[in-house]
Each structure stands twice: as structure tokens, then as C-alpha cells.
A and B are shown apart, each in its own frame.
Chain A
């Protein structure tokens, strides 16, 4: 096998075709392999990648030894996925070096990564559901010809060593997500992967499948492969990994060998959260939003028989990692997602089955996260947006009046733009100001998703001043945010989501950054 050191790109299945091969090829790397292989390691050096002004990876350096299970921990948007996409050839880094076994790799495509022995298991396994197990297995195999009989044999051989059982002729659609993952793992190993990346692999699989997956991961690491496990779930990282790298804002903030106290992980993941200033005190009004025993299911979110009553003027913060159910709850309150059972009322009116447009008329306003995707219309001007948001009273448009009105709003909301500026020409902060300017003067319920995401401090302050000013009119405010500081500073109560469910509801005054970080990671601080 010494040729394999010189040519790391040799696919393992070549060896498999050797009739004398009695051991699974990837297990050969341990034990009696040349000593140089013991040094097999992955090195990422100063990887940089930016998208526009966003530095997704800002000089990341990472070192992973073979035979270890390495965790990559970070919030959504921390830069984990970008880094792994670079490593698996889906994205090209702006700068930096990738070395595997001391060989510098130039990864321009997923195929190049596979050839170099790097395989990535995506969140949704990239399989073709209408095809059979064997077809999926053979897809992407090198060479022109397809030897189905040999392929079936090799599939059986590799999978049985891993303890997987497939019917090669089963249609993949009938497989569970866990089984699809197993198929993908088998395929990647067959293609010669020595480094396997698992991107949030526990999303959407059952507990028993998770146990099985973790056993497989341990086994792969024990057999001498490099296994990288990407997750934002503290518990899984603690349960599984030998070492962990934590990424925040595109930078490595810590690299530790496990186990370490959860406190350390939380602190690294979210940073020091300092809550400044006092919470503005507002007298709570009469009951406003009443959520009674509602069940909402959408995708992986399943909020079950959950209740919450708020007072007029109260601010409810929704915390949790992205996709934990906050957006679903906001959209259910807005009338965009159906409520399975239970009752929602606002100021005594039952709105459970009310349509989005009727709720809008009743003063329930939803401000989505995608300002330019779901809020504004590219190509239309500030004036046109304000017309669209205004009263539907006249059929013909009076452009002079509309332009004057827009000029007033631009002054009133300090928007840096002119009446004829198009939405996409505005900066993020000014887009958010425009969205605020488009809201009706009085509201019962204001629902917001990441109201200050991507904004500079001045704009963020401005946005919150505007929002909080509505409290005195009795507007209930519900907002989702990934910014712990923002959640702690502006909320009266915080609803913490974890894994698609409501995990806890806590008064903000009883929490600090660490405590909230624990809850978001699905743990109660002891």
C-alpha cells in the first residue's frame, strides 16, 4: 500500500477489486500501515473567504489528526458551512492553504475533493430518490463503464463491514434519512474518502438513528479516518467529539480537547455578553396576545399544545439557533402558517383562522428577515413602496402628492435616499428604516424577524427606538433574534427554542448571556 502514500488520490475501490483483499480497504490504514500514515492529518491554513462585505471565513487555521473525531462548533452564520464547503470543493477560498498528509491540495471542484479523498455528507444527503440503492451507489463512480455486478458486490462488502444492510434494488425514496446517510457514507468510502465531513447530520433523524450514526462515526475515526462533525448542538459535540474547534464571526475563537466544561464552550460560541443600561420600564397593559394550547408543525418544527399570554406593550424575544422554530411561530402569528389546533387571539378577537390580509388590516404586522426578499420590491422606488403600503383609496396615482409624502417620510425616518431611489440601492439600515416607515401608525401586534441583523450600531439603535416607541400605544412586540445582547436588552420575556420546540420561557431579568447561551444550546445551567 505504499503507493497509496505517494498517490493519495488512488480510489480505494481499485484495491477492493483485488481478489486477495480480505480486509476492507479503509481499515488497512490502521495497524500494519507504513508509519508515515500515522502522521496523516488535515491542515487548513489561514483560509479566507468573503461574500461582498461579509467575511465568512477570516483567516481560519485548523489542524485535525487522523483517527480523531473533531467537532466544529459555532452559531448559524459563524462560518462553519463556508469552511466545509471550501474543504469539500464546493466553494473556492479567496486565500489560504489546504494540506492533507502534507500534500497541498488545489480543490477547484467537488470532484477534485473526492479525488483527494475528501467526502462531505450534506445536511440533506445528496441522493436521487427515484433511483435504486445501487444506482445511487454507482453514481459518480470514476471511469466510463458501469459494472453493476461488481458494484453490487462492493456495496455489500463495504456496507456489511460498517454494519449497514441495504437491498441494492430498493428505491431510495423508501429509505429513511438515516439509511440514506449510511448509503452516502458507504459510497464516499468506496470512492476513496479518507476524510469525512458531516454537516449537521442529526437534523431530521430519529434518536435511534442518531445512536447508530454516532457509533458509525466513532468506528470510522477508530479506523484511522479523519472525521469532522459540524454542529451547533452542545450536547452532541460533548457526547461525540475528541476535540473541538469553535468558530465565531468567521474566526477561530478556540480549539480545545474534550471534555471541557460546557461554560467554556458557551462562552466561546457566543462571546462575552454584556448587557448595558437599564431596561426601559413600561407599564404593562391589559392582556393582548393570547396563545392557547396551540400546536404548530412545519418542516422540522413541532410546537405542541403551547400557551403564552402577553400584556399590551410587552416585548417577547424569541431565542434559539436558526431554524429552531422561531420563524414558524412568527409566521403562524402572522397568518402565514396554519395552526394545527388551539386558539390565538389578539385583544380579545380570535384570529386563529384569520387570513394574513385580514390580520394585516387588524393591525398585525410582520417584518420578515429578508428585507429585500420578503419585505421590499427590487426595482421599485421609495415613493412606490410608500404608495403600496398606504391606503387603497384611489385608483389613479397622484405622483406629486406621493413624492411629497415620500419626502416627508424620508426626513421623518432619516432614510439616506431620495424618493426615486430604488429599494435595492439602499443600505441595509436604510431598507429597514423604509420598512418601518411603511408600517401603519397604530398596531396591535408587531412581529419581527432579526430586526437589526446586518445593521450598524446607529441604525440598530434607531430601529429599536422606533419599535419601543410603539409600546406606549399598547403594541405587543414579538421578535426573533440571534443576538443575545439584543434579546436580553429589549425583551421582557424570552422564549427559547431548541430543536423545533419551545424549550423554556424565562423573564429576561433572570438571565444573563451565559444562562441564555446554555438554554439555546439545549441545556439548563446547573
Chain B
């Protein structure tokens, strides 16, 4: 019974992935690129050397954190499109601490992390309050707050936090080194060990929160049926706000890593688009925390590796995005097809 269930659930996904692979290869052939060389280059670009691997992993951590946060909000039935803005808000809060707080790394780094979490959570709660108290759909509220956060970051970069003498969108001054998210030298490269640990704590934490705690179970109840959940005595509003806060906090932590670990300064595009990419990751992970980390790694591999396509095959690096889009589209269509097939089987059966 269990194996059959697993097979029926995974079957369409496997078919979809194969179909996405075939379409990607056809696409590569159509643009006159040798498909297998291109795929090899993707891998090479992401994991070809210790340096490249370290960079890929550093890019992976904020994506995992944003996606883990999205698993929480999806579980509560929320489309937290505002995750992009929450990453930026986290980065801004972390930047503020990095700029104003004196002292050694041992104090500043934890402070930036906490500030990032609080900043992301605060930004998410704005969308949450708009939803629970203002009846603004979280998709619209979140999208608006995305633009607002991006605008705020740009304003800070060219305004109050501009580099001495130059107002440029290339970013603020670099932080003091004490505020850098520390990395660890391994295999001759700088590995973002702390960021990786934070990302794993985040995603495993989300998994256990939903699987092993009363709060997680109640959140799922709210997400699946708010009416029943309310009648069961669950304060649905507070729980929705809680889901926003946790999801936003994780995204804000991702923003901290982007600012203090990758750019080492605040830049307008600090989010790196990981919020929207995170939505794709979570959709592909079937809204479960279990698959978020590997799928995010796969996506990041395509993103970072596609720079190589540009250099070596003269393919636009946007091709990576095209590949990601094809995969998600096929898996979603495959999922819909599976649902349709089950429904039809049930109809015929009765």
C-alpha cells in the first residue's frame, strides 16, 4: 500500500523531470549548442573547483532559508509573495547593525543575524496584518511590500548610506571585517560553513516544526481549513501572523547572509531574486521541507553554472532561468495531470 502510494505520487514527478530534460535538450539543439557539453558545463561551472563549490554553496544558503520560510507560509495556506521584500528587509536590518555596532566579530555577527531575522519577520508581519486586519490579499500586499523594500534599499544605498563622496547604485561602503559572516578555509577555498549550518538548522527546524509540534499541526489545520480550525479553538489570526513571522524571519536570515556573507555591503539587488526562485523550489518540493535543500542546490547549480554557458558556448546566461522554468512548469503540469487521473479513476470506480 505504502509503496504503491509512493509510486503513484512520485511517478508523475519522474515523468515530468524526464520530459523537462528532453525539452531542455531539444531547446539546446535548436540554439545550436551541443546539449551534453552544455550540461557538463553547468556542472563544471557550479562544482568544477573548490572555489566554485564554495561560491555555489554560499548562494545556496539564502535560497534554502527563503524556501524553508515559504514551506511554513504555504502550510498555513498563504501565498507569501512578499518573501523577496523580506529578504531585502533582513539585509537592510543586518546592514544597519553592521554599520553602527562597534566591537568584535563575536558580538557583531550574532547581532547582524538577529537583526536580519527581526527585519524579515517585521516586513512579513506588515503583509500579515494587512491580510488579517485589512483584508488585503497577501499576494497583493506582499508584492507591494516587495517593491517598497527594493525602493528602500536603493534609497539607502544612494542616500543616507552612500559611499563617502559617491552616490552610486553599486552599493554602500564595505562593512568592517568584524561584521563579515565568517567563512572557513577548507580544500584551499573559503567555505561558508556558518551559513551552511544556519541554512540546515532553518530547513530541518521547519521540518520538525511542522512534523513534530503542536504549533505546526495547528498551522496545517489553519492552512487546510480555516473554518474548522477556528471552530476547534485555534486562534487563526494569531497563527497566520505567526506563520508570517517565522517565514519572514527565515527569509530575513537569508538576506543577512546575502549582505554580510556575499556582498559584504548593501546593494539594491541584495535579494538576488532568491525569493521568487524560492517559490519555484517549494512548488517543486511539493510544499514539503524534506526536499527543499537538494532541490535548491539543483536550482543554484543551474544558476551559477549557466555563467559558464555564456563564456564557453556563447549562450545567454538567462538560459539557466529558462531551464528552471521548464522544470517547474513540467512538474506542475505533471502534478495536475496526476490529480486529474486520480479523479477520473475515482469517477469510473464509483
Given known contacts A373-B228, A378-B225, A384 and B214 CB-to-CB distance under 8 angstroms? no
Inside 8 A of A53's CB, which chain B residues have their CB? 350
Inside 8 A of B224's CB, which chain A residues have their CB? 377-380
Which 10 pairs of residues, A with B, have the shortest CB-CB distance? A377-B225, A374-B227, A377-B221, A360-B233, A377-B228, A377-B224, A379-B224, A388-B232, A357-B233, A397-B212
**Docked-complex contact A368 and B214, CB < 8 angstroms:** no
A52 at the interface (CB under 8 A from B): yes
Quick one: which of A360, A376, A396 contacts B213, CB cutoff 8 A? A396
User: Once bound together, how far apart are the Cα atoms of A384 and B140, in whole Å?
Assistant: 33
**Docked-complex contact A392 and B228, CB < 8 angstroms:** no
Inside 8 A of B230's CB, which chain A residues have their CB? 356
User: Once bound together, how far apart are the Cα atoms of A392 and B214, in whole Å?
Assistant: 8
User: Once bound together, how far apart are the Cα atoms of A396 and B213, in whole Å?
Assistant: 4
Q: What residue in chain A is nearest B231 (Cβ atoms)?
A: A374
Would you list 28 pairs from A and B whose C-beta atoms are within 8 A, ordered by A residue? A52-B350, A356-B233, A357-B235, A361-B233, A366-B231, A373-B225, A373-B228, A374-B231, A375-B231, A377-B220, A377-B221, A377-B224, A377-B225, A378-B224, A380-B221, A380-B224, A384-B221, A388-B229, A388-B234, A392-B214, A394-B214, A395-B215, A396-B212, A396-B214, A397-B212, A397-B213, A397-B217, A399-B212
Give A383-408 interface residues, CB cut-off 8 Å to B: 384, 387-389, 392, 394-397, 399
Inside 8 A of A396's CB, which chain B residues have their CB? 212-214
Give B90-126 interface residues, CB cut-off 8 Å to A: none
User: Once bound together, how far apart are the Cα atoms of A438 and B225, in whole Å?
Assistant: 17
Q: What residue in chain A is nearest B347 (Cβ atoms)?
A: A52
**Docked-complex contact B228 and A395, CB < 8 angstroms:** no
CB distance from A29 to the nearest CB of B (A): 44
- Total interface residues on A, CB under 8 Å, equals 27
User: Once bound together, how far apart are the Cα atoms of A396 and B224, in whole Å?
Assistant: 21
B146 at the interface (CB under 8 A from A): no
User: Once bound together, how far apart are the Cα atoms of A142 and B165, in whole Å?
Assistant: 70
Inside 8 A of A399's CB, which chain B residues have their CB? 212
User: Once bound together, how far apart are the Cα atoms of A389 and B232, in whole Å?
Assistant: 6
**Docked-complex contact B227 and A373, CB < 8 angstroms:** yes
User: Once bound together, how far apart are the Cα atoms of A45 and B217, in whole Å?
Assistant: 52
Given known contacts A395-B214, A396-B212, A396-B214, A368 and B231 CB-to-CB distance under 8 angstroms? yes
For B215, B225, B350, the residue with the greatest tally of chain A CB atoms inside 10 Å of its CB is B225
Q: What residue in chain A is nearest B230 (Cβ atoms)?
A: A356
**A395-B214, A397-B214 are known contacts; what are 17 more A-B pairs with Cβ within 8 Å?**
A52-B350, A360-B233, A366-B231, A368-B231, A373-B225, A373-B227, A374-B228, A374-B231, A377-B229, A380-B221, A380-B224, A384-B220, A384-B221, A388-B217, A388-B229, A388-B232, A394-B214
**Docked-complex contact B213 and A395, CB < 8 angstroms:** yes
Inside 8 A of B221's CB, which chain A residues have their CB? 377, 380, 384, 388
Inside 8 A of A384's CB, which chain B residues have their CB? 217, 220-221
